[in-house]
Structure 1
Amino acid sequence: MDIHGIDHIELFVGDARQAAFYFDRAVGFQLCGQGGPETGLAEQRSLLLRQGDVRMLLTTGLTAEHPASRYVRRHGDGVAVVALEVDDAAGAYAELVRRGAAGVTAPTTRTGADAEVVTAEVGGFGDVLHRLVSRRGDPGEFLPGAIEMTPVDGGGKLLAEVDHLAVCVPPGQLDETVGYYRDVFGFAEIFVEHVEVAGQAMNSTVVQSPSGRVTLVLLEPDRSRGPGQLDAFLDQHVGAGVQHLGLRTDDIVTAVAALAERGVRFAGTPASYYDALEARVGPVDAPLDRLRDLGVLVDRDHGGQLLQIFTESLHVRRTLFLELIERRGARTFGSGNIKALYEAKERELAAAGTTVAAPTPQEVRA
């Protein structure tokens, strides 16, 4: 069973049209398909958006008992399905169930004039499912007979692909979740870390498909320390889920400037963070003044540098948010920025002669 990459991400939302308006006007996605009862999608409205290689399906239940309606009542708007591209969806489904995955939706085939798409679903983490997708024929078709495609002009390519998904699980469930993806999906553990700052801490394990195209950053709070951002997410989201969606860009400065102009709000960065930046990560091939103006963060690992920034949460529960990331050889996820941001705020407070509390990891990544 080969998992080649992420086929699409499906969000269950309270109002698909309103959510699509935001992702279109603010984040640069383009509406390229839609479906509902008139196309055979009973009791739901789904809008398909695309930017670069990122496909996002926004689904709203039209009845109280539709799975999307139940999801939104419990969790609010959020990622409900992570769809995986495979060669043979039916074969992958059988293999995953044999290895211990919960079978949710048996293989279904949809055919059109020039395409055939087979899908099946298995359990993932929390209430999030994995949809297995295999495609034949016209790559422009998404789900023949269910999603009516709309021609787009190919613009809006500030974002290139899904880099990773950050998944928060309750304390004590990290090892079990890592084992599930290792033993059932064949993912490898590529990075393990314990992050502690300002009396708060979290454990992190990164798992990745053999293809290297699907990466999950699995996080759990360390309850031996004080409560922080992961505890807040678990409370507001009511259980495990996708905390943020990491989207890779080839030019983060251009992307952040464009999205900010369109109204996207990004998490703030203390100005003093940049005073020690090059001493910490080495020379950066971007004007520091520009990075400072935009709030872009920089970190380094053995492979090189990465530039990243986090949006404010998209939702009233302050759960799901986005990360923009540009990789310049780095393979990790910028955990060094948590400590760097904390120390920058400490310097500002010391210079001001105040005792106001320094930022917590929750404030850093909120």
Structure 2
Amino acid sequence: MEIRSIDHVEMFVEDAEETAGQLCDSFGFTLAGRGGAGTGLRDCESVLLRQNDIALLLTTATHGDHRAAEYVKRHGDGVGVIGIGVDDAHSAFAEAVERGAVPTAPPEEFGPAGACVTFASVTGFGDVEHRFVSRDNPEGPFAPVIQETGPRESGGILKRVDHFAVCVPAGELNETVRRYWEVFGLSQTFEERIVVGSQAMDSKVVQNDSETVTFTVIEPDTTRASGQIDAFVESHGGAGVQHVAFLTDDITTAVRTSAERGVRFLTTPPSYYEMLPARLGQIGVPVDELSALHILADRDPSGIMLQIFTESTHPRRTLFWELIDRRGAHTFGSNNIQALYEAVERQQAAETARLV
């Protein structure tokens, strides 16, 4: 199968309207459509948000039989479906099942010839499905079951989904990566072991050939002290998406704009920025500006990467977001992982102190 892109991300949430309002207010998403019983959706209501090449579908169950109801009960709000753009959803589905994927929804076509959209789903990791999507018209409506509000708007600070960070229980990393290779044809492109104090974790990256579909899969090392990956798996109730990274081509503007809208980002101590010039050389953005905005920086053989992570507002402190600006770099900020996890530790410690 030829995997082309991330077509959309479907989140299962307790209140789709409330979540949509938060994402529009925080990151500038546009309300693009709604679906419910009147449009053909069964046992749920959905809100479609768009920004450039990002499509977020927020779904709330209206009946206990809908999969979103059980998902939210087990995990809280989170990513339940990752829509993967392919040339032919029928053949991609058949090929994936032949290679060992468990089918969850057979191919279903929506709309007339020339404007047809086909969905077909198989299991991914944990309770997350992968939905193959093929479209006669890539610029056409999301699907007839979503009543769209008008033509797509261009602009916005976020461009597309860059990658998903996936946490899996200890012992499942290699099997998850193997499955992505055997079933979906994704290749492992990167791996590393990360040690933060007494904690440790292992990660591997799988991607399609064009690097438009990327999963960073992380498992905890249970021979070391329990850490944030262990905490995610326990709080989330198994494997799941820890964060979604959105690509931007101007991270300083994106961070300022989002912060003005109320987004809270993880902070980084001044000592991190004191070492940047010696570690990276010329970055292209003044270090004082990076420090003021708490933006992390790293370099690989291809270029510079700038990134920042939001605080988690999830009641279970699981899901959060990343903004990433790739200036030639293809990797994932290995040298920033320790800074990230130390920042999360500070956030958790501050929250604990407020509760005491």
TM-score (normalizing by structure 2): 0.94
Do 2:310 and 2:322's aligned partners in 1 also have CA atoms closer than 8 Å?
Answer: yes
8 Å Cα contact 1:8-1:84 kept in structure 2: yes
Q: How many residue pairs align between the two structures? A: 348
Distance 2:123 2:258 in 1: 34
* Kept in 2: contact 1:338–1:361 (CA 8 A): no
| Shift in Å, 1:283 | 1.5
Q: Which residue of 2 aligns with 1:232?
A: 231
Deviation at 1:268, TM superposition (A): 1.0
In structure 2, the residue matched to 1:325 is 324
Paired position in structure 1 for 2:185: 186
CA shift in 2, pair 1:81/1:13, >3 Å: same
Change (3 A) 1:321 1:160: same
Structure 1: give runs of 5+ residues left out of the alignment.
Answer: 343-358
Checking the alignment, whether the CA contact within 8 Å between 1:187 and 1:210 is kept in structure 2 is yes
Contact 1:128 1:241 in 2 (8 A): yes
Letter in 2 for 1:11: M
Return 5+ residue gaps in structure 2 as ranges: 349-356
Residue 80 of structure 2 corresponds to which residue in structure 1?
A: 80
- Pairs within 5 Å for 1:273-284: 273-284=272-283
- Distance of aligned partners of 1:140 and 1:154 in 2 relative to their CA distance in 1, 3 Å threshold: same
* Alpha-carbon separation, structure 2, partners of 1:124 and 1:18: 27
Aligned residue type for 1:174: L
- Distance in 2 (CA, whole Å) between partners of 1:30 and 1:365 is 30
- The equivalences for 1:23-172 within 5 A come to 23-112=23-112, 115-137=115-137, 139-144=139-144, 146-151=145-150, 154-172=153-171
How far apart in 2 are the matches of 1:162 and 1:259?
17
Q: Counterparts of 2:10 and 2:256 in 1: how far apart (Å)?
A: 27
Give the AA of the match of 2:265: F
For residues 234 and 181 of structure 1, the distance between their equivalents in structure 2, rounded to whole angstroms, comes to 20
Which residue of the partner structure matches residue 292 of structure 2? 293
Larger mean CA deviation between 277-286 and 88-97 belongs to 277-286
- Matching residue of 1:17: 17
Percent identical pairs in the alignment equals 52
Give the superposition deviation at 1:360. 3.9
- 3-state DSSP class of the match of 2:72? helix
- Aligned partners of 2:202, 2:68: CA distance in 1, in Å? 30
Structure 2 counterpart of 1:332, one-letter code: T
Contact 1:228–1:362 (CA under 8 A) maintained in structure 2: no
d(CA) in 2 for partners of 1:95, 1:155:
35
Q: Contact 1:89–1:120 (CA<8 Å) still a contact in 2?
A: yes
SS at match of 2:23: helix
- Residue by residue over 1:321-348, the C-alpha shift from the partner in whole angstroms, topping out at 9 and shown as x without a partner, is 1000001111111120134x39xxxxxx
Match of 1:245 in 2: 244
The alpha-carbon distance between structure 1 residues 259 and 105, as it changes in their structure 2 partners (threshold 3 A), is same
